[in-house]
Amino acid sequence: MSGHIVPVKTYVAVFIALLLLTGLTTKVSFMDLGQTAIGKTHVIDWNTVAALVIAVAKMLLVVLFFMHVKYSSGLTRLVIVAGFFWLAIMVALTLSDVLARGWTGTPQPWSLLLPVFHPYV
């Protein structure tokens, strides 16, 4: 048949890896991995980095094995990569605004809108 048949052994191995990574991310979240300053205003929080790296690793395991992408065609992979690429564009462009606010030190036209969003800003 057309679909690739993944051995049950592989599914069980991926399943165990996913459970171990869930335990690991939970355990690591209670430890302080520290922070590294970048510039004057921002820091890299290594706990957040660790949590996201583990989440991405779990996602890759699910996508590659449970969702059979390891055995899928180039066209299907292109659609998947495009989905995440567009997500990355949204995140990158949005953060380029949010994280760069205040770098100029002068009031910006949009700051006139701040009272509108009070008390959430």
Binding site for another protein (CB under 8 A): 1-3, 5-6, 8, 11-12, 15, 18-19, 22-23, 25-26, 29-33, 45, 47-48, 51-52, 54-55, 58-59, 62-63, 65-68, 72-73, 75-76, 79-80, 82-84, 86-87, 90-91, 94-95, 98-99, 119-121
CB closer to another protein, 72 vs 104: 72
Using an 8 Å Cβ cutoff, are 54 and 25 in contact? yes
The Cα-based distances of 102 to 37, 51, 105, 107 in angstroms read 17, 28, 5, 8
State in angstroms the smallest separation of the CB of 110 from another protein.
14
Q: Which is nearer to another protein, 80 or 109 (CB)?
A: 80
Whether 21 and 59 have beta carbons less than 8 Å apart is answered as: no
> Which CB, 23 or 36, lies closer to another protein?
23
Contact between 24 and 57 under an 8 Å Cβ cutoff? The reply is no
CB-based contact 51:26 (threshold 8 Å): no
